[in-house]
Structure 1
Amino acid sequence: MIKPKRVFDSLNDRAEHDLVGVIRMPESSVSPVASILRRVLWALLALFIAVMIVYLDRDGYRDVNEDGISFLDAIYYATVSLSTTGYGDITPASDSARLINILVITPLRILFLIILVGTTLAVLTERSRQAFKIQRWRSKVRDHVVVVGYGTKGRSAVSAVLSDGVEPSRIVVVDTDQAMLDAASMLGLVTVHGSGTRSDVLRVAGVPRAKSVVVASSRDDSAVLITLTARELAPNAQIVAAVRETENVHLLRQSGANQVVVSSETAGRLLGMATHTPSVVGMVEDLITPDEGLAISEREVEDSEVGGSPRHLTDIVLGLVRAGTLHRVDSAEADAIEAGDRLLYIRKVTPADD
């Protein structure tokens, strides 16, 4: 029985060179002016080397005027030779001059042309270079963070993750809006163009090997589907999802989300609190803004802290995490710190932390 030829309808089955344009690796940003200036300087350097070679060996060249080769003649010959114009009025006559033309001037001519058409060559080689970087990244990426959706919520989530010291190259953004992906790429993030509701797109983003997945979709129904798909691919990953309406929280939890944030309800509470306790709102904003002031953070307990009370530490402790469960600092379970606990505390953000 002849088996039908397999159709590559899954992004994850594609070779790396077919993923160029889907996955985009971060690039070092160089302004167009600086790039052009650099190319011009390299071209001038190649021209200068050719001029000096011709001038130092000027006795081996013949001019139709038969008045010898001056420095200006050397510049003229090097220019027309490297640009492949070649009028033939100045030619290498001696064996040494011809040998130098073969071994030195010709490679310089090729280098000169490569520099002049470097922009075109860069476009042609970009695909291969991106394919190599994608292959290397996919083979090594582990325990990274995948953010699905790069709208307001997604950008804020990325900012918080970066403030915790995570390298930009270890954050993958998935979105269908190329403008959003371009903005993420400028921050040094890896981007994947596609819908987070598709399992093949999430596989390309490395969700099966991810440590955390942030679902920041603008629609609650999409968030449920993304969470379901991500949980199927990554049973042990930490999945955090945002929804607009409280009534959809149970759907996200049933889909496999570890934490669900209700964006509309949270914003509404802050708005209500701001009408009579604006200072409280300011403090909350300070705690959830990682750039300055105070921030909520998490750390491992030290050996000297085991057995003591979290309320007696110099840090302001809000709670502790034991076996994956959060206990508030006023609960009975948090009376004594145990080995392996993690403390949720308030830290002061200094300029060195940014």
Structure 2
Amino acid sequence: MKLPGHDAIARQADEHLVTHRVKLPRKLVDRPIRQVAKRLAMAMLVLVVTVVVVYVDRAGYHDSADQTVDLLDSAYYATVTLSTTGYGDITPVSDSARLTNILVITPLRVLFLIILVGTTLEVLTERTREEWRQSRWRSTLRDHTVVVGFGTKGRSAIQTVCVTGLKQQQVVVVDPSSKAIDVATAEGYAGVIGDATRSEVLKRAEVHRARQIIIATQRDDTAVLVTLTARQLNRSAKIVAAVREEENAPLLKQSGADAVITSASAAGRLLGLSVLSPAAGMVMEDLIQQGSGLDIVERPVIKAETGRSPREIDDLVVSVVRGHRVLGYDDPAAASLQLTDRLITIVRATPGTQVTPDIRPLPQD
């Protein structure tokens, strides 16, 4: 299946692809160019100090060319000495010059080599170290959450599920933009750069071992393709997708999405509700925001609640989930709760409380 605009999306994704498609969160460090510049500056400082030391004690050195050692000769001697080239045309002849070479020049030479060799080794081992980190990350990644698209919807969805107790290490972001992935890794999430409509990109995110997949792309046709690909790779994961147009929601469900959120319609309904009743709009906004004020959560029925009606439960029950059906609290079928039921309740948010994730992406323009 190939929808209009797919080729353009693929080309755009290719423009953003880089050599390392998987980026893991790491501590903030200087950029490689800045690190090299710092070490180069240190090496130049060592060279300058060596030149000064030789020039101050220039009377103790002998130049086979013109018998005298000036500033240029001191720089020349310092350069060939620190680089261990050692042509021998300028040599220390006095006791003080030789002692200075033993106690000062030799340690400076060792320091100079350490700086250069250290930089070379770091460059050579960086890729090996990164590959080892990725291999270890893949081996430990299980039952994680894959978020496709790190725009407003994707970031809001991640924040919501993380408030409910999901760890940042269990979130993998997929986005064709390297800048978006840089932001994601800076916030502590692993990132995969690439077009999520391609199975090889989703495999890099270990989507076949994910527990839940959130699809928050900018285009509806892209969301359909990503859903099809993700469902093909993972038959058991819970897939929640967002679309802009309501008419595309059935297509997403047919493609394998368990739940579809229409962002444009949801935002419009919230606007309309706020016009009719600003207080009601504030309450709905509060319910959407997990971790503050009132939260809407899903939890299992406990033994003590079996056989009771939703009205008799201490929590404010909104709906009862029985199998694949969602029953209203006043539905006669939900009059007697079963142990296998799940309750959708409204509770007061308390810091540090972890609840079953209830994935509901926030409305987006």
**Is the counterpart of residue 217 in structure 1 residue 214 in structure 2?**
no
Who is 1:156 aligned against?
A: 156
Alignment check: 8 A CA contact 2:300 2:343 kept: yes
Matches within 5 A, 1:255-274: 255-274=255-274
Q: C-alpha separation between the residues in 1 aligned to 2:352 and 2:114?
A: 45
1:17-49 Cα shifts (integer Å, max 9, x gaps): xx96100011022578xx98xx99xx9xxx9xx
C-alpha displacement of 1:305: 2.3
Deviation at 1:292, TM superposition (A): 1.6
What are the Cα deviations for residues 227-278 of structure 1, in whole angstroms up to 9, with x where unaligned? Answer: 1111111111111111111111110111111101111111111111222211
- Amino acid across the alignment from 1:265: S
Deviation per CA, 1:56-95, whole angstroms, max 9, x where unpaired? xxxxxxxx89xxxxxxxxxxxxxx9x97789986668xxx
AA paired with 2:290? P
List per-residue Cα deviations over 1:306-345 (Å, max 9, x = no partner): 2322322222122232334332222223222222322221
Give the RMSD, CA atoms, in angstroms.
3.5
CA spacing shift, 1:308–1:112, aligned 2, 3 Å = same
Cα distance in 2, alignment partners of residues 31 and 330 from structure 1: 60
| Partner SS, residue 345 of structure 1 | strand
Other-structure match for 1:323: 323
In the alignment, the residues of structure 2 paired with residue 325 and residue 125 of structure 1 have an alpha-carbon distance, to the nearest angstrom, of 55
Partner of 2:191: 191
Helix, strand or coil for the counterpart of 2:352?
Answer: helix
CA distance in 2, matches of 1:307, 1:24: 50
| Aligned counterparts, 1:226-245, within 5 A | 226-245=226-245
**Aligned partners of 1:349 and 1:88: how far apart in 2?**
78
1:174 matched to 2:154? The reply is: no
- The question of whether the paired residues in 2 share the 8 Å contact of 1:20 and 1:130 is answered with no
> Greater relative contact order (Cα 8 A, min sep 6): structure 1 or 2?
2
Paired residue for 2:278? 278
| Runs of 5+ consecutive residues of structure 1 not aligned to the other structure | 1-18, 48-63, 66-79
Q: What secondary structure sits across from 1:241 in the alignment? A: strand
Report the Cα distance in structure 1 between the residues aligned to 2:144 and 2:284, rounded to whole angstroms. Answer: 28
CA shift in 2, pair 1:29/1:307, >3 Å: farther
Secondary structure at the residue paired with 1:352? Answer: coil
Q: Distance in 1 between matches of 2:311 and 2:121?
A: 64
**Contact 2:83 / 2:113 at 8 angstroms: preserved in 1?**
no
Matched ranges for 1:94-173 at <5 A: 117=119, 121-173=121-173
Do the aligned residues in 1 keep the contact of 2:292 with 2:349 (CA within 8 Å)?
Answer: yes
The residue correspondences of 1:243-258 to structure 2 (distance < 5 A) are 243-258=243-258
Q: What's the CA shift for 1:135?
A: 1.1
1:68 corresponds in structure 2 to: none
Q: Percent identity?
A: 41
Q: Distance in 1 between matches of 2:313 and 2:171?
A: 33
Cα distance in 1 between the residues matched to 2:224 and 2:309: 40
Deviations 1:282-305 (A, max 9, x none): 100000011421111122332322
Q: Which amino acid aligns with 2:127?
A: R
Structure 2 counterpart of 1:285, one-letter code: E
Indicate conservation of the 8 Å contact 1:83/1:113, yes or no.
no
The answer to whether the Cα contact below 8 Å between 1:253 and 1:259 also exists between their aligned partners in 2 is yes
Alignment pair present for 1:22 and 2:21: yes
Does the 8 Å contact 2:164/2:291 carry over to 1? no
User: Structure 2, unaligned stretches of length 5 or more?
Assistant: 1-17, 47-59, 62-78, 355-365
Distance 1:126 1:350, change over 3 A: farther
Q: Which residue of 1 aligns with 2:302?
A: 302
Structure 2: which amino acid aligns with 1:244?
R
Q: Residues 173 and 181 of structure 1 are in contact (CA less than 8 Å); yes or no, is this contact kept in structure 2?
A: yes
Amino acid at match of 1:320: V
Aligned residues: 291
The one-letter amino acid of 1:28's match is K
**C-alpha separation between the residues in 1 aligned to 2:83 and 2:29?**
30
Q: Is the 8 A contact 1:192 1:205 kept in 2?
A: yes
Tell me which amino acid in the other structure corresponds to 2:26: E
How far has the Cα of 1:148 moved from its partner? 0.8
Quickly say closer, same or farther: Cα 1:122–1:328, change in 2 above 3 A.
farther
Length-normalised TM-score, structure 1: 0.71
The 3 A distance-change label for structure 1 pair 306 and 131 is same
Contact 1:20–1:127 (CA under 8 A) maintained in structure 2: no
